[in-house]
Amino acid sequence: MSIDPYSPCPGGTGKKIKFCCSELVGDLEQLDRLTEGQQYAAALAEVDKLTQRHPGRACLMAHRTRLQLATKQFPAAAAGSAAFLEACPDNPVALGLAAVTEAIAGRMQESMALFDRARDHAHTQARETDGAELPQDLVRTAQTLVQAAAQTGHPGCAQGIVEWMIDASVGTEEERQLLASIVGSGGVPPALRTKVSFEPAPADSAYRFEFEAALKAAAEWRLSKALATFRSLKPVAGESPELFTNTAILCEMLGRPYEASEAWLTVAKLRAGTPDDAVEATGRAIAMETEADPDRSPVMTITSIIAPLPTPSVEAAGGGLQLLEDKLRHDGRFDTSTFDRSAWVSRGAAPPHSVWRVYAPAPAGAPTSAGQPGNELPDRLLASLMIFGRQTDREPEAVLQGFEPDVAEAKPDVERVLGCTFAAPVDTGRGRLPTTSPTAWLQNTQFRVKPGELSKEPQAADGPSMVDRLLARQRHAVSDRFLAVWPDTPLPELLGKTPRQAAAETGKEPARRVEAIISEGEAASRQPESSVAWTAVRGKLGLPTPAPIHSAQPLEEVPPLRWHRVVLDGLPLDQLRVLFLTSLDAGFDLAAARAARAIVARPDASPEDRWEAYGLLEDRAETSLEKLEIVGKLRELAKTLGANDGMLDVAELRVRLSRADEPGIMRLLNHLQRDHARDQKVIAALAEVLGEAGVDLAALAAQSAAAGQMPGGGAGMPIGGGQSPAADAGRIWTPGGEQGGGAGEKKSLWTPG
């Protein structure tokens, strides 16, 4: 940036350079040129020289800390920012840089306290200098802290900073939108997606004056002062849910998850008479507990156990290993697994001789929700088995890896087959092993369905395909296991109790915790079967079914976690459309799907509304027949809207390939060649679909180049077009526009015209 005597001091003094360090104008301009040219070492050397001649200058201390952060010299930056802050305790730039170094060190509470002071002093400086702009350094600090908070699991802090930037018009509109998207992509728990506003004091309260003073401080973004005032009111307002709600909101923004959790639990207790409010406050408390301690017990930990292989079975030049692997190959509990040898070699490690998946056979005769007997159930994946040959520094060995309970279940069978004995897990000193929650462990269970069993069932042209049956059997297997195991699994969210134990404490905190977990699972599950499973759990635990909600303006009157309970019959179309779009954007897929079904059933819905609604319904459809039916409706709408139907062709092709519908596949390929051969987005999506189907695209491209043909006839259609396949191919609600992201990401919506 241009430096002149009337520029604001880059050290955050609040003065013009002319009045604080006029003799350094040329030097500061030189430092800026070096920094903009990324000549950080030269800039640091120059700062050191200038500091010796001009000690204690805020602008030089700020430059040094910025350069140390830019070059990832974090310990030096922390020491430098501490010295800067000690010399200039009320300087917003010094406070902001200290906030950044604290965030980098993982101390988010200390970071947010410093940033709150920086923001307060910056606003004071701006008022004292006739509305001067906030220091640019503070803007950069805010942007850095939003990213740090989002990446480290503190969405309340990140969202609070974004709200301040919007309220104070800090940064550009594009920057604020980008930061808001970073918060969303960081993964916000469902309980925290509801915007909770500060609540006023009861009209007849004796402490109303102090309460309103705290609210005024919060409105001015002096959060620490507001929190201190609310805390001081606890002796006289200890039964006020408004007080604890405001305290919890401030603690979320200031990175104090433990205190926020305690406050939300108090709110839930004080509002026990309105069960929905109490349950949602409890859900926020659980989210805050997880933010404070992501690895709280009990958790599921990945473990590795090692066993030396018996020498007689693996001696000679690998012949013994081949016999051992042949034994695994003929045992139905093992499947060979591909792996990337180069990844092992690149990090200097000897790759395994082979890798195997270990399965638990389904118990015979056990019925399931799908009505299949146990001997037709899929086998459950337990662990990964790696077989290593003899190395110069070690004997042949087997490594069994997976989640602890699954490894413990697989261990006896693997030992019998290999004739070895696994030792207890050993701490390798390489840091903590990965963990997950018991709920996530159950929901992500993997099963193996043998296509040979499914091929015995005849496939009608108008019936489910083999892939449909395979996926349905897997979904039922996951759901059945979840329903059978989850109610009696100790959970960290329940402080070590099982859902069954907690649900039995009707009207108390443990039961509210179970309700909160189930409500969030129903509302925010990405897949329809997951929502259904959560509802089934509610019945299995004997919990009451929540009542439907009647509201003419659900977005204004109903919290997001209850949107899926809104009665949609008779709801105005504009409210229905906004409910659909907002639910979809916020990740409440059950409410979005209900609204989408209601929209397509309304005769007064516009083609644009139907297009968007069918897009979500196609994405959530469980069978290929449902998908084909919806694609057909979208084709009719595409004609009405004059939309490009190339992405519809790709979406339908994916379904036809899964059904092995050769005539349909050839028809679509010909249509793509004829009408969309020059649409690079469509071609990239087609390349991905063909790759998923196992088509050798490199060989196909060579043949096409040689013969001027594409599969199915026709000339000159390139495959791939020199571009990477779109990661979002087949997201058919956005043909011709930007595609939505993958699972867990916000979907974008396309509106014709």
Those residues with Cβ within 8 angstroms of residue 218's Cβ, 6 or more apart along the chain or in another chain: 198, 226, 246, 250
Q: What is the pLDDT of residue 553?
A: 92
Q: What is the pLDDT of residue 17?
A: 67
The pLDDT tens digits of the residues spanning 78-90 come to: 988 898 888 888 8
Are 353 and 318 in contact by the 8 Å Cβ rule? The answer is: yes
Q: What is the pLDDT of residue 733?
A: 32
Q: What is the pLDDT of residue 134?
A: 72
Picking from 427, 429, 423, the residue whose alpha carbon sits closest to that of residue 399 is 423
Q: What is the pLDDT of residue 722?
A: 38
Residue 56 is which amino acid?
Answer: G
Q: Output the six-digit token pair for 639.
A: 């004609």
Q: What is the pLDDT of residue 438?
A: 94
Question: Rounded distance, CA 437 to CA 489, Å?
Answer: 11
Question: Rounded distance, CA 151 to CA 226, Å?
Answer: 27
Q: Find out whether the peptide bond into 298 is cis, omega within 30 degrees of 0.
A: yes
Are 206 and 236 in contact by the 8 Å Cβ rule? The answer is: yes
Q: Sign of the CA dihedral 373, 378, 384, 390?
A: positive
Q: What is the pLDDT of residue 50?
A: 80
In the chain, which residues have pLDDT < 70?
1-8, 11-27, 128-133, 311-319, 364-376, 426-432, 451-461, 696-753
Q: What is the pLDDT of residue 481?
A: 92
Picking from 438, 400, 431, the residue whose alpha carbon sits closest to that of residue 416 is 400
- Surface-to-core class of residue 724, CB atoms within 10 Å of its CB (0-12 exposed, 13-18 middle, 19+ buried): exposed
**Cα separations in angstroms, 165 against 105, 126, 138, 351:** 24, 15, 11, 51
Are 644 and 735 in contact by the 8 Å Cβ rule? The answer is: yes
Are 78 and 105 in contact by the 8 Å Cβ rule? The answer is: yes
